[in-house]
Structure 1
Amino acid sequence: MDLYGWIIYNGYLPGSKFRDFAEWVQRAAAKHHIRTTIYKNSELPGLLATGRVDLVSTGASKPDFVVFADKDIYLAKQLELMGIPVFNRAETIAASDDKITSYQLLAAHHLPVPKTVIAPKAFYNTGTDHVDDYHQAIQLLGFPMIVKEAFGSFGEQVYLVNTRKELAEKIRQLQGRSFMLQEFIAASFGKDKRLHVVGDEVVAAMTRHSANDFRSNVTAGGTMQAYHPTWEEAQLAVAAVKAIGADFAGVDLLVGPDDTPIICEINSNAHIRNLFDCTGINAADAMIDYIKREMRHDNGRLANLQQDRRRNK
């Protein structure tokens, strides 16, 4: 099967982390003799016209598939409308990126999540805290509690508040943004478990620990240790990924009372270098294996795409 793919990452983010992820996927594809091209999203502006959904210009043949290592859901959707299989799909990326949407889907699938209260939508910052609107939420969740913005990465938009006064100030700061309040899982202070799921399988896992922060993110100073998840944890992680329709994703599990796993969040664009450094397992290999299987199951569309590619050479 002669496959050609694109790997897309965000061209506007600082540092090399996202390019690095793309290169790991490209090297994994090369092992399977799959040719790929890495693009920044900024190199692929979408073009819409009457009866036309396309890209402005790439100077290259259209791919058989795309590994979408970005959150530019409009570009992902554009590619899907052009008939190109995208891993992960735009709808999945959007659900993962919006943590409120993630929790809604997880709860609807009867999966364990922290008790969560969604903040009423405010379309702009009123300059006041409106903490009285949260009286019932305070009674339900108690202090300390977690305040979490719907959109954020690396734990930077997650806050621990200990008093009504702290909550009032945080609400005032976040007015106009989407956020939620959550019960604080004390047993998981400074520790969680990252399970990387590809298809129906957990391919690698690690625990993350922080000595001085309730968050355990490695980018915030946490440490890692290779981990072998229990059957229950693995099944839960796979179910979580399926709940948002992902092909592959990183699932973060909190440690609940009596070591019961609770889903913290799902990352459809989970980076894999830290996972490799910790476990020695390159998740990109499993991702490419999965894509090959999925493309094989869709041979009719693949044949049409490859025929179009040869015609346009």
Structure 2
Amino acid sequence: MTKLSGWIIYNGQLKSDKFLDYVTWFKQSAEKANIHLEVFTNDEILVSNDKTKPLLFSKTWCENFHPDFVHYADKDLHLARQLESMNIPLFNRSKSIEICDNKSLMHHHLVEKSIPTPMTIIAPMTFNGIEVKEVTYIERIIEAIGLPMIIKEAFGSFGQQVYWIDSKEQLEIMAKKLAGKDHLYQKPVHHSLGKDIRINVVGGKVVASMKRTSQTDFRANVTAGGSTTPYDPSLEEKTLAVQAAAAVGADFAGVDLLLEKEGPVVCEVNSNPHIRSIYECTGIDVAVPMIEHIDAILSGQKERKLS
């Protein structure tokens, strides 16, 4: 492997065991591959400028120190874009993180690339703070999707900000409650309630897969109480996962598939998937192929595809 020196950046307000575990795990895996990583939080490196010159303002920042790359394990797009403007390669890139962080935007990109997803209607936007008195459009949503349905806030992780809706009354209440927030309405995949497939894709290849199942919730996320078992995806499922990761321009991604009777559909693509649960399920350390992919790109052994 090439002798590299990089950074891993995570959110300064998310110093929970889950996030610290990821950072420590990835740093140790990198060190085993002879790659040195410095750890920073996003609030330790502030986006700044000197007239027209982009700068990073930090106690530890040195203009002479230019990392070979950054593993960007956060969603702070301002800092991500600033790093890229200074010609520092990011894994994943800011555009991919932006797409994956916003479920509505993600849906646009998947559909644009003809990636099958559950039937989805994106809520009409309004200005935050404006009281919404009429939501007559929900009649058309019910007509198109039917009841029950699922509402998802565009910004949310670990299965949170996702709501099961049984009635028109519930739908109207939630539509008014979420006014001013980007959100979408989705037809449930009844055959896959409480079940999904997580496929980790790195550099256009499937490296690990598990099935997640919940006996008590329509969401299968491990954080929401789901259990996991190793899973051997079909060629169709592997192909779809790779295509979904490519559609959002991700070097590495956790692609969640739902299993319709007619075939798999993409639930969502995660640009910063945690890797402990899939390791505990499958014994596969996803950090290893991630680091190998970064090394191959930076050493010129592999061409990085455009998003």
Tell me which interval the TM-score lies in, with the shorter structure as reference length.
Answer: over 0.9
Task: Give the 3-state SS of the residue equivalent to 2:137 in structure 1.
Answer: helix
Structure 2 counterpart of 1:113:
117
Q: Which residue of 2 aligns with 1:238?
A: 242
Give the count of matched residue pairs. 298
Residue 260 (structure 2) aligns with = 256
| CA contact 2:138–2:171 (8 Å) conserved in 1 | no
Structure 2 Cα separation of the partners of residues 297 and 200 of structure 1: 16
Within the candidate set 186, 189, 192, 2:193 is matched to 189
Q: Distance in 2 between matches of 1:234 and 1:283?
A: 16
- Per-residue CA shift, 1:225-270, capped at 9, x if unaligned? 1111111111100100110111001000011124x11100011000
> Contact 1:199–1:290 at 8 Å: present in 2 too?
yes
In the TM superposition, residue 18 of structure 1 has moved relative to its aligned partner by 1.4
Residue 272 of structure 2 is aligned to residue 292 of structure 1: no
Measure how far apart 1:54 and its partner are: 1.7
1:279 and 2:277 aligned: no
- DSSP 3-state at the match of 1:117: strand
Percent of aligned pairs with the same amino acid? 44
Distance 1:66 1:229 in 2: 31
Distance 1:59 1:125 in 2: 39
Offset at residue 124 of structure 1 (A): 2.4
Partner of 2:24: 23
TM-score between both structures, scaled by the size of structure 2: 0.94
Counterpart in 2 of 1:304? none
Q: Give the letter aligned to residue 3 of structure 2.
A: D
Structure 2 partner of 1:176: 180
Unaligned runs of 5+ in 1: 300-313
2:44 paired residue number: 43
Query: Helix, strand or coil: the match of 1:218?
Result: coil
1:135-214 to 2 correspondence within 5 Å?
135-214=139-218
SS of aligned partner of 1:131: coil
Distance 1:65 1:31 in 2: 17
Runs of 4 or more above 3 Å deviation: 125-129
User: Is the contact between residue 241 and residue 249 of structure 1 (CA under 8 Å) also seen in structure 2?
Assistant: yes
SS at match of 2:219: coil
User: Which residue identity lines up with residue 42 of structure 1 in the other structure?
Assistant: D
Change (3 A) 1:125 1:56: closer
Higher helix share: 1
Distance 1:77 1:90 in 2: 6
Q: Tell me the amino acid that sits aligned with residue 271 of structure 1.
A: H
Length-normalised TM-score, structure 1: 0.92
Map of 1:72 onto structure 2: 76
Cα distance change on mapping 1:157 and 1:68 into 2, 3 Å: same
Cα shift at 1:21: 1.0
CA contact (8 A) 1:194 1:207 kept: yes
The RMSD of aligned alpha carbons is 1.4
Q: CA deviation at 1:285?
A: 0.2
Partner of 1:134: 138
Aligned to 2:229: 225
Q: Distance in 1 between matches of 2:135 and 2:88?
A: 47
CA distance in 2: counterparts of 1:182 and 1:27, whole angstroms? 40
